[in-house]
């Protein structure tokens, strides 16, 4: 990777404000709901720890990384480490096999746990595992020159005080199930959402198994065009562990035609499902974390064409 690109990535990561996360050893987990290792892209993690007594620990704080990747949401995990009151910044992708640049500071004594595959995507959970007074916070910065995506976001904490390890990956406090999904006209942007089903992932993490929570997203029987005209017809989309969907996945063909090229609005509900698509029992889920990705169409023209934007679609109050 060119040095200038690496410096740009490091600057992007350093410019993100860290989100504080309350928690304790084996319990304070951070959810990073989207990363990509697409060729040419870099996803950069910035992690920091502190000690409630305000003193640096003599030993290492173990960090447990759990990646869930690809269309099958496959589990892959391992340990890194850092000390109290420490800072660790590194590419998600491995510098040897994934196309990453490694640590932002090559002499950093902390140890990342990299994702080894190039040309993949998914979400990652990072947890502290050693010290009862350790807290972890962090953010993800993503730069993808191919899509024009430059974004950053804070990790989402589970915030559960526990020293037993039983709450690692427990995000059942996230109960987001209602969303106002708005989208520009098809001539302006192409809009998709990447949804991560959340709940208590602890048992699956402990077993080294794939997270299998399911949500069914529905348009609740109506879609609105850009002039608030309701277009009836119920369409649903299942999200198993994590997955991508577009506005068209929540519309029938008639609704899609009626909405046309001017954009629209869907008051969507994400309902936790007790079974998968085949009818088998799955882990209990509590909600959905949605990342909205919008790519500006070529017809818009320079300098905006081809640029990509990403944000977290927050839950609605209706």
DSSP 201-238: -HHHHHHT-----EEEEE-TTEEEETT--EEE---EEE
More confident residue, 235 or 163: 235
More confident residue, 224 or 26: 224
Please write the tens of the pLDDT for every residue from 22-62.
233 344 899 999 999 999 999 999 999 876 544 444 578 89
DSSP assignment, residue 286?
A: E
Give mean pLDDT, residues 232-255. 97
Give mean pLDDT, residues 80-102. 95
Give mean pLDDT, residues 246-269. 96
The strand pairing partners of 144, in sequence order, are 149
pLDDT at residue 12 tops 70: no
- Domain spanning 3-157: which CATH class is it, in words? mainly beta
What was the pLDDT predicted at 2? 40
Percent of the chain at pLDDT > 70 equals 87
Give mean pLDDT, residues 4-11. 45
More confident residue, 3 or 118: 118
More confident residue, 140 or 28: 140
What was the pLDDT predicted at 97? 97
User: In 10 A of CB 232, how many CB atoms?
Assistant: 11
pLDDT at residue 162 tops 70: no
Tell me which range, 17-21, 96-100, 259-263, is most confidently predicted by mean pLDDT.
96-100
Give mean pLDDT, residues 180-194. 95
Parallel/antiparallel/unpaired status of strands 74-82 and 134-144 = unpaired
pLDDT at residue 216 tops 80: yes
Give the whole-angstrom CA distance, residue 22 versus residue 20.
7
**Residues contacting 289, CB < 8 A, separation 6+:** 31, 33, 156, 174, 176, 195, 196, 198, 312
Domain residue spans in the chain?
3-157, 178-313
**3-class SS at 75?**
strand
pLDDT at residue 143 tops 90: yes
């Amino acid at each position: 990777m060119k040095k200038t690109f690496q410096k740009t990535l490091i600057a992007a990561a350093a410019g993100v404000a860290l989100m504080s996360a309350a928690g304790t050893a084996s319990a304070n987990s951070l959810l990073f709901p989207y990363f990509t290792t697409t060729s040419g892209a870099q996803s950069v993690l910035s992690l920091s720890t502190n000690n409630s007594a305000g003193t640096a620990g003599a030993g290492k704080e173990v960090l447990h990384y759990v990646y869930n990747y690809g269309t099958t949401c496959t589990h892959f995990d391992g340990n890194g480490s850092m000390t109290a009151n420490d800072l660790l910044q590194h590419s998600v992708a491995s510098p040897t096999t994934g196309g990453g640049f490694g640590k932002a500071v090559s002499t950093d004594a902390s140890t990342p746990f990299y994702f080894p595959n190039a040309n993949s995507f998914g979400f990652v959970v990072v947890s502290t595992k050693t010290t009862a007074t350790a807290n972890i916070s962090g953010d993800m910065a993503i730069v993808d020159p191919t899509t024009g995506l430059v974004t950053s976001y804070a990790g989402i904490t589970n915030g559960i005080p526990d020293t037993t390890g039983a709450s690692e990956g427990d995000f059942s406090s996230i109960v987001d199930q209602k969303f106002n999904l708005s989208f520009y006209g098809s001539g302006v942007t192409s809009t998709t959402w990447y949804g991560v089903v959340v709940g208590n992932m602890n048992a699956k993490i402990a077993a080294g198994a794939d997270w299998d929570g399911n949500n069914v997203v529905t348009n609740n029987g109506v879609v609105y065009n850009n002039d608030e005209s309701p277009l009836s017809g119920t369409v649903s989309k299942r999200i198993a562990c994590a997955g991508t969907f577009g506005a068209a996945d929540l519309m029938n063909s008639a609704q899609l035609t009626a909405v046309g090229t001017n954009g629209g609005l869907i008051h969507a509900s994400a309902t936790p499902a007790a079974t998968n698509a085949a009818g088998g029992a799955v882990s209990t889920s509590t909600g959905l974390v949605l990342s909205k990705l919008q790519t500006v169409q070529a017809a818009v023209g320079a300098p905006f064409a081809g640029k990509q934007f990403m944000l977290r679609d927050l839950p609605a109050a209706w």
